C-alpha cells in the first residue's frame, strides 16, 4: 500500500488554514445561479488552456475558447486544437463522476485518460514498456518511472489507498489530493498524458471531498506561471530512478508547493467572486420571470452545489420524493435541468440554464 512520508510544516498549516477560510467565504457568498454558471464556464476554459499549455500546447486562452465553444480552427494547429477539445470533454466526464459520487476505479482512470488522448470514452491500457522523461534542452534523464510490469500493481495500490483515505478522512482533503497528484505522476502509468490526467484526478478528488469551491477555481494557472517550480516540486528523492529513493521519498516540500498553490487559487476566486457578487443583480430579471414558483425555489439549492438530488428537492419544497421525481422528469424535458445517472439512488441533476 502507498504510505507517503511527509510532515505538516508551519507553511503547510498556514496554507491549509487559508484554503479553509476561502472555501467558507465563497460558500457564504450570495452568488446568483446565472453568475455561478458564468464563473464555472470561465474556470473550465482556464483549466483547459493552462493544463494543455503545460504540456506544450500553443493556443492562447482566447483561441482555446474559440475552438471549444465555437468550433474555430487555426492554421497548423490541428494537434493543439484536438488536445483542448479532448481536455474539455474530459472535464465533462469528471463532472459526471462528481455527480455519481461513487468510488474511483481503475476503469474510470483509464476512461479519463482515453478522453484526454483520443476524445473518446474508451479505456486505454497502461504502458507496456519503459519510458524515460528527459530534459528538452540537454537530453539528460530527468525521471525514470517504474517498470511497466509493476504499473498494474502500483495502480491497484494507489486506488486502494484513495478509497481508504476517502473513507477514513484521516488526512485533510487538500493533502490527500496533493498526494494523489504526486503518486499518479510518479507511477507514470502511460507513455503520454500523465500530467493532464493527474490534474483532472486532483480536480475530481477535491470536488468529491467538498473542496470544489462551486466549480469556479483552476489550479492549473498556478502551475503554468512557473513550470520550473512545478516540475522541481515534483522532483523529490535522491535519484531520478523510481527504485532508488523516489518511491519512498519525503513529500513535505511537494505538499507545501501544492497547498500554497491551492491557497493562491482559492484566494483569487474569493476576491473575484466577492467583487462579482457585489455587482450582480439579485433579481435576475427576465430569466427568473420565465420560471414557475417551484423552479425559483429550487434555484437556491444550486448556489452551494452544482448537482442536487430528488431528496434535496423534496425536502426543500416539502413534498413527497415521488412528486419531486415527477417534477424533475418534467424539468428535464423542458430544458430546465440535466439528468446525470440512470439509477434512482445515484441519480443527480444539474442546471441546464
Question: How far is residue 300 CA from its own chain's centroid?
Answer: 24
Is residue 164 within 8 Å of residue 180, measured between CB atoms?
no
Question: How far is residue 183 CA from its own chain's centroid?
Answer: 16
**Which residue in this structure is represented by grid cell 426543500?**
316
Q: Is the same domain home to 317 and 198?
A: no
**Which residue in this structure is represented by grid cell 506544450?**
56
pLDDT for 280: 61
In a domain, 294, yes or no: yes
Q: 161-182 pLDDT, tens per residue?
A: 999 999 999 999 999 999 999 9
Is residue 112 within 8 Å of residue 86, measured between CB atoms?
no
Among residues 250, 278, 306, the one where a domain terminates is 278
pLDDT for 282: 45
Cell of 308: 442536487
Q: Is the same domain home to 182 and 312?
A: no
Among residues 232, 253, 278, the one where a domain terminates is 278
In a domain, 86, yes or no: yes
Q: Is the same domain home to 300 and 159?
A: no
DSSP-assigned beta bridge partners for residue 241: 144
Q: Is the same domain home to 201 and 338?
A: no
Cell of 314: 423534496
In a domain, 123, yes or no: yes
Q: Is the same domain home to 229 and 313?
A: no
pLDDT for 134: 86
Cell of 353: 440554464
Question: How far is residue 193 CA from its own chain's centroid?
Answer: 15
Q: Is the same domain home to 193 and 331?
A: no
Where residue 222 sits, what CATH number does that domain have? Answer: 1.10.3290.10
pLDDT for 288: 55
Under the phi-then-psi rule, with left for phi > 0, alpha for psi from -120 to 50, and beta for the rest, what region is 76? Answer: left
Q: Is the same domain home to 272 and 320?
A: no
In a domain, 343, yes or no: yes
The SS3 of residue 113 is: helix
Cell of 298: 429550487
Q: What is the pTM assigned to this prediction?
A: 0.79
pLDDT for 289: 58
**Which residue in this structure is represented by grid cell 457585489?**
278
Q: Is the same domain home to 58 and 154?
A: yes
Q: Is the same domain home to 251 and 332?
A: no
Q: Is the same domain home to 196 and 262?
A: yes
The SS3 of residue 340 is: strand
Question: How far is residue 303 CA from its own chain's centroid?
Answer: 19
Rounded distance between C-alpha atoms, residue 152 and residue 230, angstroms: 26
Is residue 179 within 8 Å of residue 198, measured between CB atoms?
no
Q: How many domains does the chain have?
A: 2
Where residue 300 sits, what CATH number does that domain have? Answer: 1.10.10.10
Rounded distance between C-alpha atoms, residue 61 and residue 67, angstroms: 10
In degrees and rounded to multiples of 5, residue 314 shows phi and psi of -60, -45
Is residue 81 within 8 Å of residue 52, measured between CB atoms?
no
The boundaries of the domain holding residue 215 are: 28-278
In degrees and rounded to multiples of 5, residue 277 shows phi and psi of -65, -30
In a domain, 8, yes or no: no
Burial class, 186, CB count within 10 angstroms (exposed 0-12 / middle 13-18 / buried 19+) = buried
pLDDT for 28: 76
Low-confidence ranges of the chain (pLDDT < 50): 282-285
In a domain, 3, yes or no: no
In a domain, 133, yes or no: yes
Q: Is the same domain home to 226 and 254?
A: yes
In a domain, 9, yes or no: no
Q: Is the same domain home to 201 and 268?
A: yes
Directed axis angle between helix 151-168 and helix 194-208, to 10°? 20
Among residues 230, 248, 278, the one where a domain terminates is 278
Amino acid at each position: 500500500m502507498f504510505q507517503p512520508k511527509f510532515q505538516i510544516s508551519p507553511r503547510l498549516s498556514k496554507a491549509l488554514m487559508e484554503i479553509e477560510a476561502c472555501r467558507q467565504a465563497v460558500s457564504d457568498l450570495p452568488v446568483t445561479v446565472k453568475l455561478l454558471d458564468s464563473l464555472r464556464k470561465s474556470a473550465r476554459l482556464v483549466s483547459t488552456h493552462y493544463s494543455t499549455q503545460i504540456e506544450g500546447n500553443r493556443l492562447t486562452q482566447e483561441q482555446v475558447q474559440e475552438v471549444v465553444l465555437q468550433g474555430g480552427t487555426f492554421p497548423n494547429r490541428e494537434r493543439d486544437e484536438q488536445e483542448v477539445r479532448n481536455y474539455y470533454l474530459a472535464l465533462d466526464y469528471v463532472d459526471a463522476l462528481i455527480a455519481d459520487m461513487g468510488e474511483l476505479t481503475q476503469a474510470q482512470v483509464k476512461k479519463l485518460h482515453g478522453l484526454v488522448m483520443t476524445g473518446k470514452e474508451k479505456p486505454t491500457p497502461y504502458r507496456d514498456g519503459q519510458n524515460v522523461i528527459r530534459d528538452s534542452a540537454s537530453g539528460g534523464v530527468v525521471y525514470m518511472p517504474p517498470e511497466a510490469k509493476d504499473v498494474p500493481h502500483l495502480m491497484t495500490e494507489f486506488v486502494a489507498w484513495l478509497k481508504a483515505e476517502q473513507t477514513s478522512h484521516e488526512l485533510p482533503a487538500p493533502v490527500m489530493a496533493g498526494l494523489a497528484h504526486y503518486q499518479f505522476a510518479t507511477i507514470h502509468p502511460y507513455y503520454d498524458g500523465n500530467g493532464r490526467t493527474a490534474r483532472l484526478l486532483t480536480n475530481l478528488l477535491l470536488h468529491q471531498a467538498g473542496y470544489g469551491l462551486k466549480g469556479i477555481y483552476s489550479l492549473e494557472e498556478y502551475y503554468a506561471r512557473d513550470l520550473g517550480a512545478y516540475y522541481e516540486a515534483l522532483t523529490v528523492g535522491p535519484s531520478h530512478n523510481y527504485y532508488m529513493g523516489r518511491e519512498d521519498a519525503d513529500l513535505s516540500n511537494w505538499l507545501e508547493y501544492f497547498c500554497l498553490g491551492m491557497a493562491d487559487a482559492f484566494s483569487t476566486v474569493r476576491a473575484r467572486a466577492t467583487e462579482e457578487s457585489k455587482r450582480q443583480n439579485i433579481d435576475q430579471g427576465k430569466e427568473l420571470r420565465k420560471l414557475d414558483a417551484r423552479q425559483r425555489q429550487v434555484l437556491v439549492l444550486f448556489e452551494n452545489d452544482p448537482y442536487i438530488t430528488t431528496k434535496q428537492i423534496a425536502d426543500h419544497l416539502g413534498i413527497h420524493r415521488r412528486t419531486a421525481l415527477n417534477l424533475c422528469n418534467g424539468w428535464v424535458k423542458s430544458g430546465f435541468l440535466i439528468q446525470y445517472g440512470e439509477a434512482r439512488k445515484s441519480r443527480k441533476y444539474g442546471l441546464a440554464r
